[in-house]
Amino acid sequence: MRTALVTGAARGIGAATVRHLAGAGYAVLAVDVAADDPALPYALGTKAELAAVASSTGAEPFVADVRDPGALAAAVAEAERRWGGLDVAIAAAGVIAGGVPLWEVPPDQEDAVLDVDLRGVINLARAAIPALLRRPEPRTGRFLAVASAAATRGLPMLAAYCAAKAGVAGLVRALGVELGGTGVTANAVSPGSTDTPILAESARLYGLPGAADFAAQQPVGRLLEPAEIARVLAFLAEPASGATTGAVVPVDGGLAL
Ligand SMILES: NC(=O)c1ccc[n+]([C@@H]2O[C@H](COP(=O)([O-])OP(=O)(O)OC[C@H]3O[C@@H](n4cnc5c(N)ncnc54)[C@H](O)[C@@H]3O)[C@@H](O)[C@H]2O)c1
């Protein structure tokens, strides 16, 4: 049985990824902080949402903050204890803040964005990649991260978010090379505007009436569904996807064009 750990699993893209992988027969540890961040003015995923994702998919819920390396080490250890090893680690947890130029962003909000969206991905890589490498050869471990079209576009009023996501793109490129010859790969996907609570918060930061207003800027002319991002993550997670490494795959409805 193939096993996976997914962060940001209580809702949105992470939850859709848990659903997709569980449906494909994976044993999944569904990790989320499941609590609000006092630095951020919008609600994060809840314990009830995480429990609902777990009970509807058969995934195991696990509360952990990706900013806490010890908590992620415990999550990886839990997956290995339950299922005997880890094959796939997916960093989907993320937050957003901004709405004003970088130099006016409250420092605690800037810290939240950089610490969750970049450091949190690095923390998962540190905790999970050794577990992927503990699998016997021939290995098919997959480290995956959710970057963003913001990794390559300069989005005003979201500078720290853009910096963090560009950092994730750089991280997987380097990891892809570091993991050369091991059978383990590292990749990211870069979603466009996807219909989740983080996009509703982005709309609020831009003073827009709602997330639907982002549809027009996307060549496909609509918002993306979380399941559309999840299916590409699941594709990259497959053992047969070992030819792709160090890549940042756009799943963005053409937003980055
Ligand atoms: N929705 C979009 O338009 C869009 C576009 C590009 C990239 N992304 C990225 O996709 C990823 C998933 O976002 P989403 O759209 O599903 O948003 P979301 O807000 O619906 O879900 C994010 C989840 O991450 C969790 N989380 C936040 N901080 C955490 C922490 N410190 N530790 C553990 N979990 C934490 C939240 O509780 C929440 O359940 C994020 O990395 C986001 O930056 C989203």
- Residue carrying the six token digits 């021939």: 138
Pocket test for ligand 1, best of 108, 109, 196 (most atoms within 8 A of CB): 196
Half-sphere exposure of 2 (CA within 13 A, CB side): 19
Cα–ligand 1 centroid distance for 81 (angstroms): 27
pLDDT value at residue 146:
99
Name which of 215, 217, 197, 216 is nearest 205 in CA terms. 197
The arithmetic mean of pLDDT across residues 39-48, rounded, is 98
Cα–ligand 1 centroid distance for 137 (angstroms): 33
pLDDT value at residue 191:
98
pLDDT value at residue 207:
97
Q: Where does the pLDDT of residue 5 fall: very low under 50, low under 70, confident under 90, or very high at 90 and above?
A: very high
Cα–ligand 1 centroid distance for 134 (angstroms): 28
pLDDT value at residue 24:
98
Average pLDDT of the residues of the chain: 98
pLDDT value at residue 7:
99
pLDDT value at residue 132:
98
Q: Which two tokens mark 200?
A: 């509703």
Nearest CA to ligand 1 atom 11: 92
* DSSP H or E segment with residue 109: helix 107-114
Ligand 1 nearest atom to the CA of residue 67, by list position = 31
What percent of the chain shows pLDDT beyond 70? 100
Q: Where does the pLDDT of residue 43 fall: very low under 50, low under 70, confident under 90, or very high at 90 and above?
A: very high
pLDDT value at residue 140:
98
The arithmetic mean of pLDDT across residues 90-116, rounded, is 98
What is the tens place of the pLDDT at every residue in 112-167?
Answer: 999 999 999 999 999 999 999 999 999 999 999 999 999 999 999 999 999 999 99
pLDDT value at residue 87:
99
DSSP 223: P
What is the tens place of the pLDDT at every residue in 155-202?
Answer: 999 999 999 999 999 999 999 999 999 999 999 999 999 999 999 999
Q: Which domains does the chain have, with CATH numbers?
A: 3-251 (3.40.50.720)
